[in-house]
Amino acid sequence: MCYKKRLIGYLLGSLFIAIQSPTTVFGAEEKPVGQDPVSYYRDIRPVLQENCQGCHQPAKRGGGYVMTNYDQLVQGGESQEKAVVAGNPSISSLVAQILVTDGKAAMPKDADPLTEDQIALITRWIEEGADDDTPESAKPKFDMDHPPVYHAPPVITSVDFSSDGKYLAVSGYHEVVLHHADGSGLYARLVGLSERIESAVFSPDSSFLAVTGGSPGRMGELQVWNVEKKELILAQTFGYDTIYGACWSKDGQVVGFGCPDTTVRAISIPTGEQVFFNGAHNNWVLDVVFSVESDHLISVSRDRSMKLYKLDTQRFIDNITSITPGALKGGLHSVDRHPSKDELLSGGADGTPKIYRMIRDKARKIGDDFNLIRAFPAMPGRVFSVAFSADGNRIVAGSSYNTTGEVRIYNYADAKELVKIAVPESSIYAVGFSPDGKTIAAAGYDGYVRLIQAADGTVLKKFPPVEIEDQTVATNR
Ligand code: HEC
């Protein structure tokens, strides 16, 4: 039976029981939902994805065990014990690992055990024959040893230079590609589970790369890679859709990001624990940044607002943007912070990059936009990406109007436009300064990285971040 039918049947069923006898709604008489055979793809995979795959995937094989691919999931890891014996949960080592004694289970390692229902479901799935009903389109195809093959350049949503000046991280399909910062060639391809990459951002000391993204309709994922070792050190999934906008605390210990479920979250990288969670927005949260001291988080959303939170208390503090009805025009896509001041640069659907002060120092009045310090001359279309130079003296913004793009560099202090680069062939979704402020990377829909001389807008180099096999077939779009 299809899922929807089941759901409706279930709801009608509970309603019927409720009418008959309200006290037994959740009692023993209610028919359990799962009398249909357990589906691997629908019932089991999401549980394993959320609780196990962060440590058991091609890029990170805890115990030599990969659980993202059905054959390997069944096979087991270095213990040589078969993890799943179809029809026989009692001799399946996977079941042995998740069973709870004295409130503890061997797996998931260093976390709470699975719930009784989850364990029962996995056990029943194995009892019923442990079939794999994953649709062909959802089977994992790529890993570090089998990187994606491109027939067209991938739409680029993120570019970031490392602060040591060595690398440029560019989002790809199913991977982040690290180029030498001068555009002289490829350094590494970091292939993870997420199909779509939304942002890839270096840690302050350049040793790690935080990646947000996911697989649409299936999962959101945060990945953290060790840049020198080209190794995945942390992977965690959040919800069922892609997540956005990674940012690092100044000590490189915490990564914040935004979610389509309207929440802002932050994870401690050494422990993997969630240290911040707040749902003050009412639409997708598209970008997040820390304050100078990393004691606050700032987020922007499709709901048009920029919001401020305290990290340690996880509390919402204030709307940085105006609260006057109708004052905000269109969703905000991107936020960056001045390198040494708590002043925030935003870009969004109204095409006007703006600077806000983080903390208001006067009582709020309806009608004011008190925190606004300055607005830059408007760009055509929507601004998708904004960034400061490392010295804080200039900003860069990238925009998209229909299918054309533009990059502009402005003087921070007086909002003067310094350089304008028209990109008629492609929307621009991502921009960033090199640490010495001399070069700008800009990229977007057409999948080409442009390295631009910041002083005069000359395009120094233009290249696809990946090798293209056959230009005549377009995919990944
Ligand atoms: C935080 C990382 C982490 C998480 C999360 C995790 N594992 Fe593990 N798992 C490991 C490591 C590391 C090993 C190797 C043995 C050890 O260190 O305990 C392992 C070993 C195993 C093994 C034995 C493999 C073999 O044949 O040697 C199984 C089975 C297993 N895990 C299942 C699971 C399941 C099921 C989940 C989710 C419910 C899970 N693990 C979650 C890290 C993890």
The CATH code of the domain at 159-463 is 2.130.10.10
Nearest CA to ligand 1 atom 6: 108
Q: Is 46 in the pocket of ligand 1 (CB under 6 A)?
A: no
Residue 61 CB less than 6 A away from ligand 1: no
- pLDDT, residue 16, reads 34
Residues 292, 340 contacting (CB under 8 angstroms): yes
**pLDDT at res. 3:** 38
CB 93 within 8 A of CB 83: yes
Task: Decide if pLDDT at 364 tops 80.
Answer: no
Q: Give pLDDT tens digits for 420-447.
A: 999 999 999 999 999 999 999 999 999 9
The residue whose C-alpha atom lies closest to atom 33 belonging to ligand 1 is 107
Mean pLDDT of 225-229: 98
Range 222-231 average pLDDT: 98
Residue 169 has pLDDT above 80, yes or no: yes
| pLDDT tens sequence across 113-122 | 999 999 999 9
Residue 19, pLDDT score: 34
Which band of pLDDT confidence, cut at 50, 70 and 90, is reported for residue 33?
low
Contact 430, 398 (CB under 8 A): yes
What pLDDT, in 10s, does the model give residues 176-198?
999 999 999 999 999 999 999 99
Q: Is the pLDDT of residue 25 over 80?
A: no
Ligand 1 midpoint to CA 83 (Å): 11
Residue 262 near residue 275 (C-beta atoms within 8 A): no
Query: Quick check: CB of 113 below 6 Å from ligand 1?
Result: no
Among 38-42, 184-188, 471-475, the least confident range: 471-475
**Which residue's CA is minimally distant from atom 20 of ligand 1?**
63
pLDDT band at 322 (very low <50, low <70, confident <90, very high): confident
Q: 1: pLDDT confidence band, cut at 50, 70 and 90?
A: very low
Is the CB of residue 98 below 6 angstroms from any atom belonging to ligand 1? yes
For residue 222, report the distance from its CA to the centre of ligand 1, in Å. Answer: 19
Atom 16 in ligand 1: residue holding the nearest Cα? 63
Q: What is the mean pLDDT of residues 95-106?
A: 96
Residue 109 has phi, psi (to 5 degrees) of -60, 135
- By most ligand atoms within 8 Å of CB, the mutation choice from 49, 65, 193 for ligand 1 is 65
Pick from 15-29, 35-49, 303-317, 336-350: least confident: 15-29
Atom of ligand 1 nearest to the CA of 80: 26
For residues 168 and 208, give the distance between their C-alpha atoms in angstroms, rounded to a whole number. Answer: 13
Region 22-35 average pLDDT: 44
Sign of the Cα torsion 59, 65, 69, 72 reads positive
**Closest atom of ligand 1 to CA, residue 83:** 29
56 in contact with ligand 1, CB cutoff 6 A: yes
**Contact 47 CB / ligand 1 (< 6 Å):** no
CB 351 within 8 A of CB 399: yes
Domain coordinates in residue numbering, the chain:
37-138, 159-463
Rounded CA separation 445/6 (Å): 40
Residue 472 has a pLDDT of: 55
CA 214 to centroid of ligand 1, rounded, Å? 22
Atom 13 of ligand 1, nearest CA residue: 63
Ligand 1 neighbour 394 (Cβ under 6 A): no
